[in-house]
């Protein structure tokens, strides 16, 4: 069975994929759905959900449409999740690859560096970074990337080490290929699967992290994101539960979807570990 | 009187498997004190029956039809609890991989005593005593120490002995041994086979011995069953089957076995293709925080020469340094000192860029057909990457690749396929074509046929023999299997613990070994006596 | 000499306000937010410190909600006709919490201590020639020149009296006793569980008979606004000082049984919110742009929605609660069309402007968002900057902003709390509290100066009216709101707010009805 | 002996790491806009240059940057975390006051999540593919995807405000005068909600890991050996599968236990828990340099301590470590 087919037989993964596609679609269509943007004060504040036509999820503390905020928030969550993951990969993959491929002092040095970053308390570091750089979309993304690359480096290092031991890599050496070309063309492509699985989970974690930072008031004030919505609404949670409830659900669903996809990919890539596979 | 009587047994595979039944309509019995060998190649379904008897069938696989009568009951139909009561008590089993078959976190003594615990025998204190007795019985050294040892502290052979001790704990009527010696070195294998024979003698238990190796069959079997695709194709006493096989398949299997018949070697006296002088390589393991540094001499002052057109067999057990030597010749390992002269170049002395330019001189055929080809690259790429890097024009390299695929018998069109579309034997052929594509002066074949089934092994050896004649190849053929070595090589070199202990023409080494170790090795070859008798 | 007030009336007066006889005893839990850095009021004067330490330390005077002086450590006081001499008669039998007697020596020492450590005190005392203590219970202050607002500078936050016997000759900042403050106030320090609560207990030897009434005060530290609301709901705390919960919660909480709220107790501070508009550069340097901003903002909407109806839209720089206020000034109603006209007139090219909100919680953030939206509607693109308290400070103090939110206290008199933001002499980099916008108007500077030293109140009013009229025309900053911080408390807590600084010194008279 | 030596060498390495962290953070923290003097002055509501200059001199901020750094590093190597000018207390004292609360919270959450996670993971793996498994994995996935602070808010709403079962915030009942056991019980009551919400996420993590690990180990040869011995499934699961399956869980748990200490900011904030996470967050806003750096160092030290502890535990479980590679 091909990877894709195996993936599609996994009901959880399919559900995840469906949710994610929906979220992406909504994010892309945001300007079409709500041309006035998420900040427009459209009605009385604190309108209860399902009470007013056109405002199915009610309005927030300034009379802004909660649904519009959710729709625009999808863009930010996905963007921060994706970009910070990409950045983390850009740091972690080369570092891990070099460490795993060259071994010896390169490995030693790279792993010390990685360990160093793993010793610094992650979330605290993210907070300090955002506070220093001042909360903007860029600084938040950078901070998330900086705290999330070490596991990537470790994974890639382990994978590269294991792939480098395979005989076809020896064969490539004997073919006279250069180290760089072996690393890039023979080794790395064969480590892609676990990296993809990890990346899908990292996007999920990054979304959670972004929302946590926003909750602490370290969000970009010009950007409507889900974390921002919850953070802004937490003080009114008693009187206007829906303001933090719906963005919370949006986060849970998106993160859940990404996790389901990650697990589905993992199962599809490692059929011998999945429960349905034969021993 | 039969201990076990299997009638009309069929075991169904789950949907989507390559065939419907792992085992179909098999009937046989094992008598008390009898050793029955179940022989077959991978996928023949030979282990499935054993698993069914033990109630250890993998998920999705189930008994479809038939009975297995043991102690007056059909043990395929009894409840899980009854089956559990049988397991380890009246039927015991040992497995192929001694390295993984023991719980790494438990002491050997506890793992043995656990058998008593599982069946509620003896008081805890006595269990230890019993375990100690068993350890003595399977001739493990220093029993008091072994009982407290963890599996990782034991060698493969010792672990297999510990496994046997466990199996013997409750004096089973039937011992099922699933390829118990396949993963062991040849000398260890001989010892374990002897141990099983002794124990059979002493306890009179029946043994169902599953193997792929007719050599082992010759050593141990009373009766033999040959299986193919889940069906029994031949049965009889050991002597009948080995000497007078009735079924084509059996005959082919037997023919495929390198018999150990020693060919008269051709004298080759041309210029040397490879000259190794005083080669040394020492590995320093450990030196970390938690362990003491240890120096292992993988290659200890080895010198040898391979003439142009010669095939030199390099044999030795695991850890003898034979593979390290092969890898040092291609400079996948950099030796500490000494020289490796190939066509006037000292491979051991080149720097990185010189080395890249000289790589094509020596090529290698690897052991694992599944790991030696990049799963993401088409065959064409595997065959042309090297030549192109060497400077051969692309079109020419591609033509050559097609040609080579014809040569190794896969057809020119096969270049556009991915490795996973080929079987293990076919992949080894691709590996050989890849080596040839570089027009090397020397080929290192590192256990190139070890991972293959016997019949496939024979085909690949035939191909090598053929190529050798057509292209006048110089080959360093590394193997742990002396019989294979004897078939292809002109001269044999024997390595032990990094040292070259003997080197000479095949006939000399086999018929008139000079070194004790060589003799031990030859004696340990299973079915050695039978092989010679066939001559 | 003219005797202004006598002490004995006050106790009687406050007794009279309660119909029921006052009860002693009980425990009161209050929120303090954020956790104060220190309780040594002489060294640290930020809001939470003032709120807690105001029960421990005392000033010479207090001020009622009409900002009239009331006795505190001084039982009587007088001002000479020429406004040059202030005489205070101190209460007798006052002791420090450690039992040492209090005397005029402590007051003299405090003026020295505060000169070194208290910026606002330093400002007010720059007009003072000398301080003398003719006897143990008398203080005589001689001025360099008459200074009208001086009588408003004696409450505990402006001039806390600190113990000489503890601080004299020591390094004030590192004195170990800072951790266990000793004052003369109605409550004594017991313990401070950092991050959790501060416990004060009744001063049994307080010099006013029968006061205080409550046995124990617990100032609770709850960092999250929503949790603070929960704490009040679940009955864990009894008093939410102004600003302790977000405004949206106020309405909900006050609807609960036995819950009262009051907007009183802020008259002395009269917190006044505005946006600094950078008068030096960018579009905000143009008066028409600044006026357009005023017209573009729907300040009533913000008051109603963001502040839940609390507060008053201001007419200009002086709060309606502060002395010498006038509403006879140019008006800036919500008028986007007018704003657009002004922008067209100046030829505004669409340059985006940065807006720096005040990092004090969700209310302020919403406010910034509303302003952004309002300005966006008249075609001014606003980019909200973000910064925490330190970053906000840094940016405003170094003039790195286009528009920036702030709010400041007025301390009862324009000369104390208003002039500093508009006179040229107060344009100094490094402080976020002076003339940060860079407004320069020499003509007005002269009027400010004149008004400060004018002894006659009617004349002062005239001067301040003129100032207000001119300055509102110029819009150096965009005035947003006279902030009201309602205090929410259980109705059985009586006499909680009796002065112009409310909770900061109010617990002296408070009592709990069983 | 070997263990003692190993630990010593680990500690040395840890000391170097900590010093590097201190220096890096020193740069980071000083790169933030504003300084403690400005914040203090700013909060006072009125300030003049003299006041800010006085404060800066008092905090040593008037010195050149490298002098400040050298002074700080000098302090650190003599185990002096410096003085918090904002709080008027030595940083170490300040941290030690707050540390117990954080440790109680995080360790409780850690143990709850570990024990519950492993138990659920075992339960799910035992009934793989069945309803129980689906239910457990589904719930775990949900916990895994739920923002921690959101769960915390909801928990306060339901259990504290609506039902009134448990206190919604704080560390203990203030001024209760409880001592001894009564106080412990009181703290326990306050602990339940924050520890549970903090633990939920990690419980999901450990559950998933245990389940996957159990399934993987169950495929291994020695499990087949155990079955061939006739052991009953429960014994096999406990003695053979679980012990081996715990190895990766222990590794992960060790990594996270350390991170928990510095990572409880959110929980501490929502539940007003007087721990060091909050101390750091508040100090950051106040630019209380020494305190931020101190908390960072102590949290990083916790990570290291837990890593070493993990190694020791690992040694207890796995005899292979300590004997050879």
Alpha-carbon gap: C161 to the closest alpha carbon of chain D (Å): 17
B with D: how many residue pairs have Cβ under 8 Å apart?
95
Q: Which long-range contacts (CB under 8 A, 24 or more apart) does B368-371 make?
A: B368/A167, B368/B451, B369/B424, B369/B425, B369/B427, B369/B428, B369/B431, B369/B451, B369/B452, B370/B424, B370/B427, B371/A166, B371/A167, B371/A168
**What b-and-e string marks burial along C424-447, b requiring 16 or more CB atoms within 10 Å of the CB?**
eebbeebbbbbbbbbbebeebbeb
Q: Residue B525: is its pLDDT beyond 90? A: no
Mean pLDDT over D305-324 rounds to 77
- Which residue intervals of C80-135 are DSSP H helices? 104-117, 119-125
The domain over range A3-43+63-278 is classified in CATH as 1.10.3720.10: yes
Mean pLDDT, all residues of chain D: 83
Under a CB-based contact definition with an 8 Å cutoff, are residues B494 and B304 in contact?
no
pLDDT in tens, C66-87: 888 889 889 989 888 888 899 9
Of C216, C222, C391, the CB nearest to D33: C391
Measured CA angle at C264 (ends C261, C265), to 5 deg = 120
From A274-278, B138-142, B245-249, C89-93, the region with the lowest mean pLDDT: A274-278
pLDDT in tens, B347-375: 888 888 888 888 888 999 998 888 889 98
Instruction: Scan residues 19-38 of A and list those with Cβ closer than 8 Å to C.
Output: none
Q: Which domains does chain D have, with CATH numbers?
A: 2-77 (no CATH), 97-319 (1.10.3720.10)
Burial class of B13 by CB neighbour count within 10 A (0 to 12, 13 to 18, 19+): buried
pLDDT of residue C12: 41
pLDDT of residue C1: 39
Chain mean position to CA C111:
21
Chains sharing 3 or more CB pairs under 8 A with chain C = A, D
Confidence of residue B75 (pLDDT cuts 50, 70, 90): confident
Mutate to test the interface with A, among D150, D154, D204 (most CBs of A within 10 A): D150
Confidence of residue B258 (pLDDT cuts 50, 70, 90): low
- Which residue intervals of B169-286 are DSSP H helices? 186-203, 214-220, 238-243, 248-256
pLDDT of residue D54: 78
Q: CA-to-CA distance for C368 and A61, rounded, in angstroms? A: 13
Of D167, D174, D284, the CB nearest to C196: D174
Question: Where along chain A do its domains lie?
Answer: 3-43+63-278
Confidence of residue B209 (pLDDT cuts 50, 70, 90): very high
Whole-number CA gyration radius for chain A = 22
Q: Extract the runs of DSSP E, i.e. beta strands, from B462-505.
A: 475-479, 491-496, 499-505
pLDDT in tens, B426-452: 999 999 999 999 989 899 999 888 888
Contact residues, chain D, for B293 at CB < 8 Å: none
pLDDT in tens, B56-67: 888 788 888 888
Q: Residue A83: is its pLDDT beyond 90? A: yes
**Kind plus residue range of the DSSP H or E element containing C488:** strand C487-490
Same fold, B1-90+173-257 and B272-534: yes
Q: CA-to-CA distance for B335 and C258, rounded, in angstroms? A: 89
Mutate to test the interface with D, among B103, B109, B110, B116 (most CBs of D within 10 A): B103
Contact residues, chain B, for D226 at CB < 8 Å: 103, 114
- Count CB neighbours of B355 within 10 A: 18
Q: Quickly tell me which residue has 């969000």 as its tokens.
A: A219
Of B359, B371, B389, the CB nearest to A167: B371
Taking Cα atoms as reference points, which of C90, C115, C112 lies closest to residue C103?
C90
Contact residues, chain B, for D220 at CB < 8 Å: 100
Q: CA-to-CA distance for D161 and C229, rounded, in angstroms? A: 10
Q: Residue A89: is its pLDDT beyond 90? A: yes
Those residues with Cβ within 8 angstroms of residue A169's Cβ, 6 or more apart along the chain or in another chain:
A163, A182, A186, A187
Q: Residue B286: is its pLDDT beyond 90? A: no
Joined tokens for residue B245: 């096989």
Phi, psi of B90 (to 5 degrees): -100, -25
The answer to whether the CB atoms of C226 and A238 lie below 8 A apart is yes
Instruction: Scan residues 211-230 of D and list those with Cβ closer than 8 Å to B.
Output: 220-222, 224-230
Mutate to test the interface with C, among D31, D36, D48 (most CBs of C within 10 A): D48
pLDDT of residue D44: 64
Nearest CA in chain B to A176: B356
Under-50 pLDDT residues of chain C: 1-19
Nearest CA in chain A to D286: A131
pLDDT of residue D322: 60
Mean pLDDT over D285-294 rounds to 85
Chains sharing 3 or more CB pairs under 8 A with chain B = A, D
Q: With pLDDT > 70 as the criterion, what percentage of chain D qualifies?
A: 93
pLDDT in tens, D246-261: 988 988 888 888 777 7
Q: Residue D153: is its pLDDT beyond 90? A: no
The answer to whether the CB atoms of D153 and A251 lie below 8 A apart is no
Does chain B reach chain C with at least 3 CB pairs under 8 Å? no
Of D145, D265, D300, the CB nearest to A127: D265
Please indicate if any CB of chain C lies within 8 Å of the CB of D209.
no
Alpha-carbon gap: D32 to the closest alpha carbon of chain C (Å): 8
The answer to whether the CB atoms of D224 and B101 lie below 8 A apart is yes
The answer to whether the CB atoms of D38 and C397 lie below 8 A apart is yes
Q: CA-to-CA distance for B386 and B360, rounded, in angstroms? A: 8
The answer to whether the CB atoms of B102 and D2 lie below 8 A apart is no
The question of ipTM being above 0.85 is answered as: no
Q: What is the 3 state secondary structure string of C209-230?
A: CCCCCCCEEEEECCCCHHHHHH
CATH (residue range B1-90+173-257): 3.40.50.300
Joined tokens for residue C262: 């009051």
- Which residue intervals of chain D are DSSP H helices? 2-31, 36-44, 49-59, 65-77, 91-126, 131-145, 148-155, 180-218, 221-228, 233-235, 243-263, 265-270, 276-286, 289-317
CA distances, C406 to each of B242, C53, C316, C482, D140 (Å) = 100, 25, 15, 12, 46
Phi, psi of A148 (to 5 degrees): -110, 0
Question: Where along chain B do its domains lie?
Answer: 1-90+173-257, 96-169, 272-534
Instruction: Considering only residues D52 and A176, tell me which one the structure prediction assigns the higher pLDDT.
Output: A176
The answer to whether the CB atoms of A278 and B59 lie below 8 A apart is yes
pLDDT of residue C9: 41
Q: Extract the runs of DSSP E, i.e. beta strands, from B71-222.
A: 73-74, 91-94, 174-178, 206-211
Q: Quickly tell me which residue has 């709390």 as its tokens.
A: C417
Interhelix angle A66-102/A192-215, rounded to 10 degrees, is: 130
Q: CA-to-CA distance for D199 and C325, rounded, in angstroms? A: 57
Under a CB-based contact definition with an 8 Å cutoff, are residues B195 and B161 in contact?
yes
pLDDT in tens, B366-414: 988 888 899 888 999 999 998 998 888 999 999 999 999 998 888 888 8
pLDDT in tens, A102-133: 988 899 899 889 988 888 888 888 988 888 88
Q: CA-to-CA distance for A214 and A274, rounded, in angstroms? A: 37
The answer to whether the CB atoms of C248 and A134 lie below 8 A apart is no
CATH T-level assignment (fold) for domain B272-534: Rossmann fold (3.40.50)
Chains sharing 3 or more CB pairs under 8 A with chain D = A, B, C
pLDDT of residue B230: 87
The answer to whether the CB atoms of A61 and C305 lie below 8 A apart is yes
**What b-and-e string marks burial along D87-102, b requiring 16 or more CB atoms within 10 Å of the CB?**
bbbbbbebbebbbebb
Q: Residue D56: is its pLDDT beyond 90? A: no
Q: Quickly tell me which residue has 């996957």 as its tokens.
A: D212
pLDDT in tens, D206-244: 998 899 899 889 888 899 889 888 888 888 988 899 989
Instruction: Scan residues 133-172 of D and list those with Cβ closer than 8 Å to A.
Output: 141-142, 144-150, 153, 157, 161
Alpha-carbon gap: D161 to the closest alpha carbon of chain C (Å): 7
């Amino acid at each position: 069975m091909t990877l894709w087919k195996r993936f599609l037989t996994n009901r959880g993964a399919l559900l995840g994929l469906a949710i994610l596609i929906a979220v992406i679609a909504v994010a892309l269509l945001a300007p079409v759905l709500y041309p006035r943007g998420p900040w427009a004060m459209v009605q009385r504040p604190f309108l209860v959900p399902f009470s007013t036509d056109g405002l199915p999820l009610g309005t927030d503390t300034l009379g802004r449409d909660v649904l519009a905020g959710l729709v625009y928030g999808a863009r930010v969550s996905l963007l921060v999740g994706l970009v910070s993951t990409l950045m983390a990969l850009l740091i972690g993959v080369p570092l891990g690859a070099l460490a795993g491929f060259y071994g010896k002092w390169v490995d030693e040095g790279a792993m010390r560096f990685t360990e160093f970053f793993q010793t610094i308390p992650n979330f605290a570091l993210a907070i300090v970074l955002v506070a220093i750089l001042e909360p903007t979309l860029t600084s938040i993304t950078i901070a998330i990337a900086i705290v999330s690359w070490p596991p990537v480096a470790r994974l890639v290092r382990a994978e590269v080490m294991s792939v480098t031991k395979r005989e076809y890599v020896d064969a490539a050496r004997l073919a006279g290929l250069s180290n760089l070309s072996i690393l890039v063309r023979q080794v790395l492509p064969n480590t892609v699967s676990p990296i993809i699985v990890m990346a899908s989970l990292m996007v999920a974690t990054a979304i959670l992290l972004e929302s946590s930072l926003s909750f602490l008031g370290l969000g970009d004030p010009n950007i409507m994101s889900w974390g921002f919505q919850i953070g802004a609404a937490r003080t009114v949670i008693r009187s206007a539960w829906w303001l933090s409830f719906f963005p919370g659900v949006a986060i849970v669903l998106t993160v859940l979807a990404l996790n389901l996809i990650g697990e589905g990919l993992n199962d599809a890539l490692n059929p011998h570990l999945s429960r349905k596979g034969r021993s | 009187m039969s201990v076990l009587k299997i009638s009309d047994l069929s075991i169904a595979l789950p949907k989507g498997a390559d065939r419907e039944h792992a085992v179909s309509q098999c009937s046989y019995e094992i008598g008390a004190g009898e050793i029955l060998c179940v022989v077959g190649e991978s996928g023949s379904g030979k282990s499935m029956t054993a698993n069914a008897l033990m109630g250890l069938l993998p998920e999705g696989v189930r008994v479809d039809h038939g009975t297995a009568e043991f102690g007056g009951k059909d043990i395929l139909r009894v409840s899980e609890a009854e089956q559990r009561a049988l397991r380890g008590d009246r039927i015991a089993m040992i497995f192929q991989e001694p390295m993984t078959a023991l719980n790494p976190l438990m002491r050997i003594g506890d793992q043995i005593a656990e058998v008593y615990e599982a069946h509620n025998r003896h008081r805890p204190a006595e269990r230890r005593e019993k375990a100690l007795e068993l350890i003595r019985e399977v001739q493990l050294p220093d029993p008091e120490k072994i009982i407290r040892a963890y599996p990782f502290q034991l060698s493969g052979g010792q672990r297999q002995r510990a496994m046997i001790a466990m199996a013997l704990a409750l004096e089973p009527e039937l011992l099922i041994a699933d390829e118990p010696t396949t993963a062991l070195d040849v000398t260890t294998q001989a010892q374990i086979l002897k141990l099983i024979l002794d124990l059979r003698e002493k306890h009179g238990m029946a043994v169902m011995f599953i193997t792929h190796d007719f050599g082992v069959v010759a050593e141990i079997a009373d009766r033999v069953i040959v299986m193919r695709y889940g069906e029994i194709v031949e049965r009889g006493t050991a002597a009948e089957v080995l000497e007078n096989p009735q079924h084509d398949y059996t005959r082919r299997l037997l023919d495929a076995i390198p018999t150990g018949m020693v060919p008269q070697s051709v004298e080759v006296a041309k210029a040397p293709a490879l000259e190794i002088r005083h080669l040394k390589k020492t590995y320093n393991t450990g030196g970390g925080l938690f362990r003491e540094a240890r120096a292992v001499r993988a290659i200890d002052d080895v010198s040898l020469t391979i003439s142009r057109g010669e095939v030199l067999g390099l044999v030795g057990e695991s850890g003898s340094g034979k593979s390290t030597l092969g890898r040092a010749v291609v400079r996948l390992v950099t030796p500490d000192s000494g020289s490796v002269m190939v066509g006037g170049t000292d491979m051991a002395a080149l720097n990185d860029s010189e080395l890249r330019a000289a790589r094509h001189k020596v090529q290698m055929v690897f052991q694992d057909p599944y790991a030696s080809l990049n799963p993401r690259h088409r065959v064409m790429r595997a065959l042309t990457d090297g030549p192109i890097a060497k400077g051969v024009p692309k079109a020419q390299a591609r033509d050559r690749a097609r040609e080579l695929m014809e040569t190794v018998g896969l057809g020119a069109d096969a270049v556009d396929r991915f490795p996973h579309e080929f079987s293990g034997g076919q992949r080894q052929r691709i590996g050989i074509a890849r080596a040839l594509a570089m027009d090397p002066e020397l080929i290192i074949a590192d256990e190139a046929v070890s991972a293959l089934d016997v019949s496939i092994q024979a085909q690949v050896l035939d191909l090598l023999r053929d190529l050798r004649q057509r292209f006048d190849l110089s080959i360093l053929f590394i193997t742990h299997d002396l019989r294979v070595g004897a078939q292809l090589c002109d001269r044999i070199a024997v390595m032990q613990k990094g040292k070259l202990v003997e080197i000479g023409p095949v006939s000399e080494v086999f018929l008139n070994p000079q070194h004790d170790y060589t003799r031990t090795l030859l004696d340990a070859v299973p079915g050695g006596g039978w092989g010679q008798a066939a001559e | 000499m003219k005797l202004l007030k006598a002490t004995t009336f006050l106790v009687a007066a406050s007794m009279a306000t309660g119909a029921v006889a006052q009860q002693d005893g009980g425990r009161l839990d209050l929120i303090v937010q954020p956790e104060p850095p220190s309780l040594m009021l002489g060294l640290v004067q930020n809001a939470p410190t003032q709120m807690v330490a105001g029960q421990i330390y005392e000033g010479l005077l207090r001020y009622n909600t009409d900002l009239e002086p009331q006795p505190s450590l001084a039982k009587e006081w007088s001002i000479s006709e020429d406004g040059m001499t202030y005489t205070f008669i101190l209460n007798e039998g006052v002791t420090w919490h450690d039992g040492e007697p209090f005397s005029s020596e402590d007051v003299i020492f405090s003026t020295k201590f505060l000169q070194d450590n208290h910026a606002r005190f330093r400002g007010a005392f720059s007009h003072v020639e000398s301080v003398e203590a003719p006897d143990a219970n008398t203080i005589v202050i001689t001025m360099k020149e008459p200074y009208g607002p001086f009588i408003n500078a004696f409450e505990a936050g402006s001039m806390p009296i600190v113990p000489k016997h503890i601080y004299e000759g020591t390094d004030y900042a590192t004195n170990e006793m800072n951790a266990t403050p000793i004052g003369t106030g109605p409550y004594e320090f017991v313990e401070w569980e950092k991050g959790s609560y501060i416990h004060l207990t009744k001063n049994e030897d307080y010099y006013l008979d029968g006061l205080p009434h409550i046995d124990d005060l617990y100032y609770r530290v709850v960092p999250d606004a929503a949790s603070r609301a929960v704490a009040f709901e679940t009955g864990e705390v009894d008093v939410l000082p102004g600003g302790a919960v977000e405004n949206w919660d106020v309405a909900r909480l006050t609807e609960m049984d036995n819950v009262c709220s009051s907007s009183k107790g802020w008259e002395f501070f009269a917190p006044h919110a505005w946006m600094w508009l950078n008068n030096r550069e960018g579009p905000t340097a143009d008066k028409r742009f600044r006026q357009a901003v005023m017209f573009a903002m729907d300040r009533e909407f913000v008051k109603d929605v963001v502040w839940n109806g609390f507060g008053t839209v201001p007419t200009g720089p002086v709060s309606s609660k502060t002395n010498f206020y006038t509403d006879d000034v140019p008006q800036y109603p919500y008028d986007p069309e007018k704003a657009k006209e002004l922008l067209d007139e100046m030829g505004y090219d669409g340059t985006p402007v940065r807006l720096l909100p005040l990092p004090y919680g969700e209310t302020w953030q919403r406010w910034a968002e509303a302003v952004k939206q309002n300005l966006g509607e008249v075609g001014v693109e606003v980019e909200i900057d973000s910064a925490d308290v330190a970053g906000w400070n840094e940016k405003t103090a170094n003039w790195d902003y286009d528009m920036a939110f702030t709010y400041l206290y007025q301390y009862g008199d324009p000369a104390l709390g208003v002039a500093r933001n508009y006179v040229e002499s107060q344009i100094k980099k490094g402080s976020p509290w002076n003339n940060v916008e860079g407004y320069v108007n020499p003509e007005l500077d002269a009027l400010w100066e004149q008004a400060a030293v004018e002894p006659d109140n009617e004349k002062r009013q005239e001067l301040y009216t003129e100032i207000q009229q001119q300055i509102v025309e110029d819009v150096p900053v965009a005035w947003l709101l006279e902030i009201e911080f309602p205090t929410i408390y259980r109705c059985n807590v009586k006499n909680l707010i009796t002065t112009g600084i409310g909770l900061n010194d109010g617990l002296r008279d408070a009592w709990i009805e069983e | 002996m070997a263990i003692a030596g190993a630990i010593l060498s680990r500690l040395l390495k840890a000391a170097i790491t900590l010093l590097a962290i201190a220096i890096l953070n020193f740069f980071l923290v000083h790169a933030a806009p504003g300084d403690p003097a400005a914040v203090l002055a700013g909060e006072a509501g009125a300030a003049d240059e003299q006041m800010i200059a006085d404060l800066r001199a008092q905090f040593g901020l008037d010195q050149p940057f490298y002098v400040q750094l050298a002074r700080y590093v000098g302090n650190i190597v003599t185990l002096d975390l410096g003085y918090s000018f904002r709080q008027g207390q030595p940083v170490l004292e300040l941290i030690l006051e707050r540390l117990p609360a954080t440790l109680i919270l995080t360790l409780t959450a850690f143990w709850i999540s570990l024990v519950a996670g492993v138990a659920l993971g075992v339960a799910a793996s035992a009934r793989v593919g069945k309803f129980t498994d689906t239910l457990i994995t589904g719930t775990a996935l949900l916990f895994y995807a739920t923002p921690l602070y959101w769960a915390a808010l909801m928990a306060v709403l339901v259990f504290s405000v609506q039902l009134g079962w448990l206190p919604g915030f704080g560390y203990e009942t203030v001024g209760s005068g409880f001592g001894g056991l009564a106080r412990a019980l009181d703290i326990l009551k306050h602990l339940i909600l924050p520890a549970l919400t903090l633990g939920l996420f990690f419980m999901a993590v450990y559950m998933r890991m245990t389940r996957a690990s159990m399934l993987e180990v169950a495929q291994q040869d020695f499990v087949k050996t155990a079955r061939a011995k006739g052991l009953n499934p429960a014994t096999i699961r406990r003695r053979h599968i679980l012990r081996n399956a715990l190895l990766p869980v222990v590794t992960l748990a060790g990594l996270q236990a350390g991170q928990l200490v510095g990572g409880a900011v959110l929980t501490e904030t929502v539940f007003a828990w007087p721990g060091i996470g909050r101390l750091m967050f508040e100090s950051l806003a106040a630019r209380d340099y020494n305190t931020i750096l101190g908390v960072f160092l102590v949290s990083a030290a916790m990570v290291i301590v837990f890593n070493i502890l993990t190694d020791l535990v690992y040694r207890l479980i796995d005899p292979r470590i300590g004997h050879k590679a």
